[in-house]
Structure 1
Amino acid sequence: MKPTAMYPTLPASRLLRIAGLLIPLALLAACAPLPPRNPLATWVPSPNHDIRRPVLIVLHFTNQHSVQESLDTLRTANSTGPVSAHYLVGADGRIYQLVSDQLRAWQAGPGRWGTITDLNSASIGIELDNDGATPFAQPQIDSLLRLLADLTTRLRIPRTQIIGHEDLAPGRKDDPGPLFPWKTLADAGYGRWPQGALADPPAGFDPWMALAVVGYPLEDRTAAVRSFHHHFRGIESDALDGEDLRILYNLAQQIESGDEGN
């Protein structure tokens, strides 16, 4: 007596048809975009990205009229080329994620920060819904601080390595601008900021070398000073004064002492 098969045997032709259906599904799954990793944000995917490893965070303002307009810009091919960001934070505090943290968003463009020249590969980009002429809303800043806490912890990005778009591209960019509350971020432990009492620098102190040590590119020194003033003093000026020298000396001392805010 032949043993009874526990499961029915399918004809070879049917097996081939099933395999033909399963293989495309497997390929689609393999090619699917990485899932969002951040529960703080609403996932609104943009196709404008590729893979990279972040070591700093770049803050922008959108300079557009609404969150929806910014979402459209960050998710489509534009006349000047496709752009994106990892996150967009609305004035109401809602956080949108457009690109997975593991991927490269096309947000920084040409520029340099210290020795880093491929900023898109090195950074997480965060857009803030703001026109550059209006103070940043408190709910927006509160959400930004929560997002920075998450990103610096989870991705092990040093807390000092949070900069503005204009810091890496002086003259080409002006965001997030002089109204952005860098001191508020510093009080919460994010970004580099002067510490303690500001002392006069010693004789022979070179402010340009200090600006370069902080990270600023010096191809256009006037623009670099303007971006420095936006970030550290919230003023519109392109000439260094005594207060600038004290701030630069303080910042350079922090960096030379190895305080990287890990």
Structure 2
Amino acid sequence: MLSATQTQCACSLNPSPNFGDRKNDGRIDMILLHYTGMEDDDQALNWLCNETSEVSSHYYIDRAGATQQLVAEEMRAWHAGEAFWKGEKDINSCSIGIEIANAGHEDFTEEQIKAVIALCQDLMARHDIPAYRVLGHSDVAPGRKIDPGAKFPWQKLADAGVGLMPEPETAQGGRTFQRGDEGQPIQALQTMLAVYGYRVDVTGVFDAATEAVVKAFQMHFLPERVDGVADAATITTLYKLNTLMPKL
């Protein structure tokens, strides 16, 4: 049963049976954003609340911006799957999952984004979650997941203090790096991606796994170009982002 203390946001309750106990110390220090990948709001909600699906999230936001709580915040919802961020593999145990109704090829509604921002601001304040720990499913599972997708307006969230975004970078020219390239510049690229938080082996070889991580990075920070090629804009944006990160 959901606790009344969990409903700080203006949302209704629609409990999902798909949850368990948080592991380790149970500390919540991340918000993970998803899209449902379904055309119909009710279909998505029913799936998240169906025990046979074995998936859930703490919150669900429909296309009209209405927010429903599905799992109590102190419990471990099943939304991240196999994932990784900054050495942590059990993302479900340290995060709050928010599913946003969207088929993946459509724009998010204004009402949805307002609701996402309000909910994230509330969660960040109550759980002391820093802006840089608001991430997308694609960030923690590159190559496996692409939500919330290239159409998600991360800049609007950052403008409201939700998520970390460097100044837009339009650098052009210079050498680009892609799958098959090798050498010190690739090692430096992989190191910067790993420092930010992605799971990437620093080998100096631009392999398929590195390409998937570059695409995930572009999906979040350079959605106008998601091709897995590390051009000047990609590398400079990554460098700027890391300069904004606290020294942990």
* TM-score interval for Structure 1 and Structure 2 normalised by the shorter chain: 0.7 to 0.9
Query: What residue identity is the alignment partner of 1:139?
Result: E
Identity of aligned residues (%): 36
Match of 1:41 in 2: 11
Query: What residue identity is the alignment partner of 2:227?
Result: S
Match of 2:74 in 1: 102
Shift of 1:237: 0.9
TM value normalised by structure 1: 0.79
Range with greater deviation from structure 2 (228-237 or 118-127): 228-237
Q: 1:72 aligns with which of 43, 46, 50?
A: 46
Query: What residue identity is the alignment partner of 2:189?
Result: P
Shift of 1:85: 0.2
Range with greater deviation from structure 2 (36-45 or 124-133): 36-45
Which ranges of structure 1 fall in alignment gaps of 5 or more residues?
1-32
Match of 1:191 in 2: 163
Pair 140,34 (structure 1): closer, same or farther in 2 beyond 3 Å:
closer
Pair 241,197 (structure 1): closer, same or farther in 2 beyond 3 Å:
closer
How many residue pairs match? The answer is: 222
Q: Give 1:16-95 correspondences, 5 Å limit.
A: 33-36=1-4, 37-39=6-8, 40-52=10-22, 53=26, 54-78=28-52, 81-95=53-67
TM value normalised by structure 2: 0.84
Aligned mates of 2:43, 2:140 — CA distance in 1: 25
Match of 2:196 in 1: 214
Aligned mates of 2:168, 2:39 — CA distance in 1: 40
Aligned mates of 1:215, 1:145 — CA distance in 2: 23
SS of the residue 1:163 aligns to: strand
The alignment's C-alpha RMSD in Å is: 2.1
Please say if 1:236 is aligned against 2:204: no
Aligned mates of 1:56, 1:228 — CA distance in 2: 18
Query: What residue identity is the alignment partner of 2:45?
Result: L
Deviation string 1:209-248 (CA, Å, 9 cap, x unpaired) is: 1111111112611111111111001132111000111111
Please say if 1:137 is aligned against 2:137: no
User: Bigger radius of gyration, 1 or 2?
Assistant: 1
Pair 58,206 (structure 1): closer, same or farther in 2 beyond 3 Å:
same
Shift of 1:157: 1.2
